[in-house]
């Protein structure tokens, strides 16, 4: 007989059965509650909630705030806003796709000067970014267009004409690279911490001071609150929140000096030279050597930033960056990297005197040329100056004198010229409150030897590289702003100032809201003897017979201490440089100017600096072609 296995499972106790019953009851009750709630929402109250979802959606349409004005140091408005008429389309009120919409686009296109395809593309792109806002078809239309559309509204359904604020630069090309440009915030901009929380459609700074001080200038956008249904159709409007204009920004710039510098660059840059090159690039910087305030700064050629207030064609933007047009978007004052020619001799002189390589009275013979290795280095046009000391070497700009210093400095192995170039501000960003500043390059043995190791140059470092560096040639790369800071440092006795443009933030009435503090200055130790001998040599260069810029400043009623520079650049005519310091108890100033392919420093850059100094000190202004043939 077959026996079944014995069932060994223990029987369910009454206590366990009770617990299971209680848990099952609770679960059933919870499911019943959830089911009842869903039934209540979807069956009993579904129609009411659907109506609320369809009719009570609220969206805010951004109303851009006018940006704050930018003023010069005397309160003159440099950048403001103007009211423009914009033609816009309410995409929700457009006729359906078909002949009626095509006819509307054709009529509107003829009036505002665009194609129907352009209108359709703008509607698609703008509604994708801002689904509830009107689509701007054309800005800055004539008053006649405004009147024409308003008088024939029945022919232009869904088309409106509104007044909007556009950024205005009344002086056009003047200071364009300083002020920068504005534009509608992009998705890339919104990822930046400085634009966190800024809504789409807001006009923000894209470059220059507009970018750096955007949080002050931007203001607070208003909003037009509209009610829409689930399909995005407007159902009505709530009250509008008015925008608040941005705050004023007062600069250290002097408008008249800025205008004089721009005029000087324009005249100097447009002078034809032997090979027919015209419209040469250039830049200028004027600083207060006491505190680093930028009194004027500009780059040539320039551009009219008003064109960025409206949508810009890609072809126009490409021209502004093209070398064929001089790349006017490039700010040569802070990002133009050049050899500096003999203006660098101030740095070599400081290094030689402060390190004890020579003294101010050490005589050095200048026969007009010197052979170092296999290369013969010569003065400009082979001029011989005889036995001279430091002050005379700066007065006549003796290359041979400084060639010998470069040779001696290289022999010590201490890189003293490179070290002092760095201390005086070269090879590093100055810290100016502008984006896009470049650091430049101070060539060193380690730098060149590394390039040689990587087979990126044909030879390692040699004494000739230091000889070239001593007169601002070779691989040196510096900006006009860096040279102005270096001269200001010697002029003020060793304080490396941080150049800055912003001075204060104000409300619309001019009441101070916040002072803008520049970065901290550095201190380098320069002895009084070194300062005296260098400034004396620069003074004699601009005032005594044989001085490299004496012809340019003949009859000038103010004391000027200046140095010419003529930098050789492969494949180009020489670059003209001049840096000057004009002491004054109330209004001291340092001015640096350079003109690409401008020839000798005394021929082009020095006259431009004289014009700026004439404006600053209120003396007769004239642009003089220098007569000196020295560098």
Peptide linkage before 301 cis (omega within 30 of 0): yes
Residues 362 and 510 reside in one and the same domain: yes
Residue 314 has pLDDT above 90, yes or no: no
> Which of the two residues, 391 and 105, has the higher pLDDT score?
391
Looking at 236, 251, 266, which one is the last position of a domain? 251
Residues 305 and 450 reside in one and the same domain: yes
Residues 260 and 243 reside in one and the same domain: no
Residues 194 and 268 reside in one and the same domain: no
pLDDT band (50, 70, 90) for residue 401: very high
> How much is the average pLDDT of 349-365?
97
pLDDT band (50, 70, 90) for residue 226: low
% of the chain with per-residue pLDDT over 70: 86
pLDDT band (50, 70, 90) for residue 47: low
The token pair at 228 is 């829409």
Residue 68 has pLDDT above 90, yes or no: yes
Domain coverage including residue 570:
255-315+329-617
At residue 610, the pLDDT reads: 96
pTM comes to: 0.83
At residue 276, the pLDDT reads: 45
The token pair at 355 is 């390190």
At residue 208, the pLDDT reads: 95
Q: How many domains does the chain have?
A: 2
Per-residue pLDDT tens digits for 192-201? 888 888 887 7
Residues 245 and 392 reside in one and the same domain: no
C-alpha angle 60-65-71 in degrees, rounded to nearest 5: 165
Residue 248 has pLDDT above 70, yes or no: yes
Q: Which of 94-98, 165-169, 551-555, 592-596 has the lowest mean pLDDT?
A: 94-98
CA 523 vs CA 344, 423, 482, 490, 508: distances in Å: 20, 9, 16, 11, 38
- At residue 105, φ and ψ (nearest 5 deg) are -60, -40
Looking at 228, 251, 274, which one is the last position of a domain? 251
How long a stretch of residues is the chain? 631
Residues 246 and 276 reside in one and the same domain: no
Looking at 251, 267, 288, which one is the last position of a domain? 251
Residues 306 and 216 reside in one and the same domain: no
Residue 60 has pLDDT above 70, yes or no: no
CA 436 vs CA 234, 323, 443, 478: distances in Å: 45, 18, 22, 14
At residue 227, the pLDDT reads: 63
Provide Rg for the chain, Cα atoms.
35
> How much is the average pLDDT of 475-498?
98
> How much is the average pLDDT of 574-584?
97
> How much is the average pLDDT of 25-46?
73
Residues 440 and 386 reside in one and the same domain: yes
% of the chain with per-residue pLDDT over 90: 57
Residue 308 lies in a domain: yes
Residues 264 and 231 reside in one and the same domain: no
What is the CATH number for 234?
A: 3.90.1310.10
Residues 218 and 363 reside in one and the same domain: no
Residues 205 and 342 reside in one and the same domain: no
DSSP letters, 52-95, are: HHHH-EEEEEEEPPPPPPEE-TTS-EEEEEEEEEEEEE-GGGSP
At residue 629, the pLDDT reads: 45
At residue 189, the pLDDT reads: 87
CA distance 175 to 259: 8
Per-residue pLDDT tens digits for 80-137? 998 888 888 888 788 877 888 888 889 888 888 888 888 888 888 777 766 666 788 8
> Which of the two residues, 74 and 32, has the higher pLDDT score?
74
Residues 388 and 242 reside in one and the same domain: no
């Amino acid at each position: 007989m077959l026996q079944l296995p014995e069932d060994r499972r223990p029987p369910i106790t009454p206590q366990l059965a009770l617990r299971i019953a209680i848990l099952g009851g609770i679960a059933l009750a919870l499911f019943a509650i959830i089911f009842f709630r869903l039934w209540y929402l979807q069956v009993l109250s579904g129609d009411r909630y659907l109506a609320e979802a369809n009719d009570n959606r609220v969206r805010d349409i951004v109303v851009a705030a006018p940006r704050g004005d930018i003023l010069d140091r005397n309160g003159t408005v440099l950048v403001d806003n103007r009211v423009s008429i914009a033609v816009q389309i309410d995409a929700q009120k457009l006729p359906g796709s078909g002949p009626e919409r095509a006819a509307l686009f054709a009529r509107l296109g003829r009036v505002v000067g665009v194609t129907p395809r352009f209108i359709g593309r703008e509607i698609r792109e703008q509604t994708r970014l801002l689904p509830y806002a009107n689509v701007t078809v054309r800005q800055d239309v004539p008053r006649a267009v405004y009147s024409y559309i308003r008088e024939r509204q029945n022919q232009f359904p869904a088309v409106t004409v509104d007044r909007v604020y556009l950024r205005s630069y009344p002086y056009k090309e003047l200071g364009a690279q300083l002020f920068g440009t504005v534009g509608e915030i992009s998705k890339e901009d919104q990822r930046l911490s400085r634009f966190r929380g800024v809504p789409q459609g807001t006009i923000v700074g894209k470059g220059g001071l507009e970018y750096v001080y955007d949080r002050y200038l931007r203001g607070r956008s208003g909003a037009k609150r509209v009610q829409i249904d689930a399909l995005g159709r407007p159902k009505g409007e709530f009250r509008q929140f008015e925008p608040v204009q941005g705050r004023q920004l007062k600069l250290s710039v002097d408008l008249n000096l800025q205008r004089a510098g721009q005029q000087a660059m324009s005249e100097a840059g447009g002078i034809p030279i032997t090979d027919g090159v015209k419209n040469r690039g250039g830049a200028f910087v004027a600083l207060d050597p006491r505190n680093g305030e930028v009194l004027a700064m500009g780059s040539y050629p320039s551009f009219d930033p008003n064109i960025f207030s409206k949508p810009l064609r890609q072809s126009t933007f490409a021209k502004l960056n093209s070398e064929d047009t001089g790349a006017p978007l490039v700010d040569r004052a802070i990002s133009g990297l050049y050899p500096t020619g003999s203006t660098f001799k101030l740095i070599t002189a400081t290094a030689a005197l402060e390190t004890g390589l020579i003294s101010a009275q050490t005589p050095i013979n200048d026969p007009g040329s010197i052979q170092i290795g296999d290369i013969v280095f010569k003065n400009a046009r082979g001029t011989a100056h005889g036995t001279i000391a430091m002050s005379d070497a700066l007065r006549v700009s003796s290359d041979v004198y400084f060639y010998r210093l470069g040779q001696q400095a290289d022999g010590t192995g201490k890189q003293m010229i490179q070290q002092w170039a760095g201390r005086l501000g070269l090879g590093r960003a100055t810290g100016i409150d502008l984006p896009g500043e470049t650091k430049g390059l101070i060539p060193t043995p380690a730098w060149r030897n590394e390039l040689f190791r990587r087979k990126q140059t044909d030879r390692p470092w040699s004494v000739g590289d230091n000889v070239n560096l001593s007169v601002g040639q070779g691989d040196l790369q510096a900006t006009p702003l860096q040279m102005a800071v270096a001269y200001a440092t010697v002029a003020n006795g060793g304080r490396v100032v941080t150049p800055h443009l912003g001075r204060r933030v104000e409300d619309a009435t001019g009441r101070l809201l916040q002072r803008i503090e520049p970065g901290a200055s550095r201190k380098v130790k320069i002895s009084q003897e070194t300062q005296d001998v260098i400034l004396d040599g620069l003074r004699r260069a601009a005032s005594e017979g044989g001085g490299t810029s004496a012809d340019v400043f003949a009859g000038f009623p103010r004391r000027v201490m200046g140095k010419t520079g003529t930098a050789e650049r492969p494949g180009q005519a020489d670059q003209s440089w001049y840096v000057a310091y004009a002491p004054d108890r109330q209004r001291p100033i340092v001015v640096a100017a350079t003109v690409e392919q401008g020839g000798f420093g005394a021929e082009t850059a020095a006259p431009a600096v004289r014009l700026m100094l004439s404006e600053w000190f209120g003396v007769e202004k004239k642009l003089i072609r220098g007569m000196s043939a020295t560098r």
